[in-house]
Structure formats: structure tokens, C-alpha cells
Amino acid sequence: MAEAEIDVAVLFGGPSAEHEISVQSAATVIRCLAKGKYRVHPVRLERHGSWSVATPCKDLGDARFGDPCSVFQGLAHLQQVDVVFPCVHGELGEDGKIQGMLDVLRIPYVGSGVRASSVSMDKEKSKALVQAVSIRVLPSLTVDRFRWQKDRQAVLEELGCLSLPRIVKPLDAGSSVGLTRVDRPDQFEAAVEAGLSVEECSAVVAEQFLAGEEMTCVVIGGGDHDVVALPPIGIRVPGGGLFDYRAKYTPGGAEEICPAPQPAELQEAVKAAACTIYRLLGCRGLARVDFLIDDETPVFLECNTLPGMTDGSLAPKAVLAAGMTLEGFADRLVREALPLAGPRARTRAGSGS
């Protein structure tokens, strides 16, 4: 049988502030997978909680979606495909919730499992693990939503004792949504409010600001496959600004150079640290590990287990710099997930190879 008979469901959307970026990521993945090798089923998670399932298509712009259905009906559809490719950024996708549902139903999927997803999403938990293996992290203080609402003044007094400047950002959201630089104690209140205004955010982190260039490294593999770091990307924001949501997704908002212009020794140090963190957190498939550089030393910021796959995202830049095509990369991710699938999918994959 032909490879085109392998069914892949691409999940995207969701309730988070990254909904639109998720749609763009899914569009890229669908185009890559649909070039003759897979039958691709777009599945959109609506903001309000229902799901919408489309008939197989080769381009998200041509997708014909049915009426919104319940989560249970959506999951029943996923039980009919061979592999799920999650592109849900932020809540549900990167925190391990969707992965948990798929595990219970024994539906194979691309990317990291529940533990790696949930720990990576929590910036403080991941930093604690990384610090334990002697990789530098930035000092920070966490403020949860409940304590902020109950005793705001006491929290502000604690924050006021911290060294400045600080970066205040959501504990468990992505794409640098709700990120603020604080230079004076009287700016903390507005910064915390901005972070907690991100719908899925349960807490904010007040992290020490470090004036250094940012580097990020995409890592692939894991499980039964070799872990490989792709060429690191150097990031420069004009005027020394923050690499926030605007800088990430506005044309010209940041200079993203791949391979990074930093010395080879520093690039190798970043790749080694990224692989160590990837293994430590239990990632598989792919992830992007972000660092700041201080005196030629990588300082860990966070790990993204479902990095953006839009035309302007960092992960595709690293893939192309490594000499792969995006189509080949998407194919690799699906094929690495296939051994977790049932015998029907494995047989079909083998017959087309």
C-alpha cells in the first residue's frame, strides 16, 4: 500500500493567547505533510472549548470543517487516525493536557509526553532541575495568582526588595506574551497585572534581567533515536529591546541569525547544554531551548516543547540551516512517532518504505 494511506491529524488552535500562532504553525505542518506522503486531517480546537474536524486536505486554507463538536467526539475522530501532530501552543498543548488524553486513549503523537511537557511549561520547575546539573539559571521570585489577589501589598513589599532591573513574565505561557521589564519598584504592580492578564497564566516570575545576547537551539530525537542539536540561532533586538511577542512576530522586530554569529566554541557549549536539558526534562521529537549569554556562558531561560512552525518561526530556520527540508523534517517527526502506533500504521509505513 502507498504511504499516502497513513492518516495524520494536525491539532491546532486552543484557548491560549497563542491561538493565531498555532493556526499558522499548523498551516506549515499541513503543507509539509500533504505533499504526497500522508492523508492530513486538520482538527481545530476552538477558543471556547469545542472542536472542529475537517475532511483531509493539502492546505489549511482549503480545509472544509464540519460543525463544532464536543471534545469526546473530537477524540473519537483521533482514534481513527494513525498519528497526531500537535501544534497547540500554550495551554492544553504545551502543558501536557492533550498528551495525557492521547496517552489514555493510546493514540500516538509527535513530540514530548506529559511529564516533559508539563515540567518544561513551568519555568520555575524546569529551572530548578537545570540548576541541579550545574547549568546557570537566573535568580527569580514566583508570585501566584491566589496570593496576589489575597495579599497584594505583602507581595509588592517582597518584590520591592529585589535587585533591579527584573523581567516579569507568566510562569506557564509561551511566545513571551505578557512580558515586562521593571526598572523601578513602582512598576511591579502593573507588570504583575500584565502577566496575570494572560488567560492561562497561574503565576508570574520576576526574573533577574541580564543584558546579553539571546541564543536558542532546536534539539531533535529522543526515545529510541539519537538526540541531535541543530545549528544555534543568535537573536538581536534593535536598540537592545526585549525579545517579546511583538519582536518575535513583527517583521523586522528582531534579527535572527542562523547559524549564530557567535564563536564556534560558544555555539558548541550552547548545543551541549541544550542536549543535556532536553534529556534531563525527558523531551522527544523536538524542542527549542532558549539561553542568554553572559561572559561566553549559556544561561538557561526556558524549554519549549512545541516550538512555533510558522514561516517566520525559529525552528524552521534551524531545520533549513541543518540542510534538511521542512517536508523531510515533518516526515521524520511523524516516522519517529509511528513505532508508538498500532500494528495497522506500522504495517502501512513499512510497506511504503
Give the pLDDT score at 172: 78
Active site residues: 18, 175, 249, 288, 290, 302, 304, 308
Band (198; pLDDT cuts 50, 70, 90): confident
**pLDDT-above-70 percentage for the chain:** 88
**pLDDT-above-90 percentage for the chain:** 73
Angle of helix 123-131 relative to helix 264-281, nearest 10 degrees? 110
Q: Taking the model in full, what pTM does it have?
A: 0.89
Q: Which has more pLDDT, 275 or 253?
A: 275
pLDDT tens by residue, 12-39: 999 888 899 999 999 999 999 998 679 9
CA distance 150 to 157: 14
How many other C-beta atoms are found inside a 10 Å radius of the C-beta of residue 158?
A: 14
pLDDT tens by residue, 281-331: 999 999 999 999 998 999 999 999 999 999 889 999 999 999 999 999 999
Give the pLDDT score at 2: 44
DSSP string, 209-274: ---S-EEEEEEEEETTEEEEEPPPEEEE-GGG----HHHHHSTTSSEEESS-SS-HHHHHHHHHHH
Give the pLDDT score at 351: 43
Mean residue pLDDT of the chain comes to 89
Q: Does CATH number 3.30.360.10 belong to domain 119-136+212-305?
A: no
CA distance 257 to 233: 5
**The three three-digit cell numbers of residue 220, written as one number:** 531533535
Give the pLDDT score at 237: 75
Q: What is the dihedral of CA 237, 240, 246, 249, to 10 degrees?
A: 0
Match domain 139-208 to its CATH number in 3.30.1490.20, 3.40.50.180, 3.30.70.100, 3.40.30.10.
3.30.1490.20
pLDDT tens by residue, 116-153: 999 999 999 999 999 999 999 999 999 999 999 999 99
Spell out the domain ranges in the chain: 3-111+328-346, 119-136+212-305, 139-208
Q: What is the CATH number of domain 3-111+328-346?
A: 3.40.50.20
Q: Cβ(86)–Cβ(68) under 8 Å? A: no
The bridge status of strand 203-208 relative to strand 166-170 is antiparallel
Average pLDDT over residues 57-66: 95
pLDDT above 50 (res 4): no
3-state secondary structure of 28: helix
CA distance 286 to 315: 9
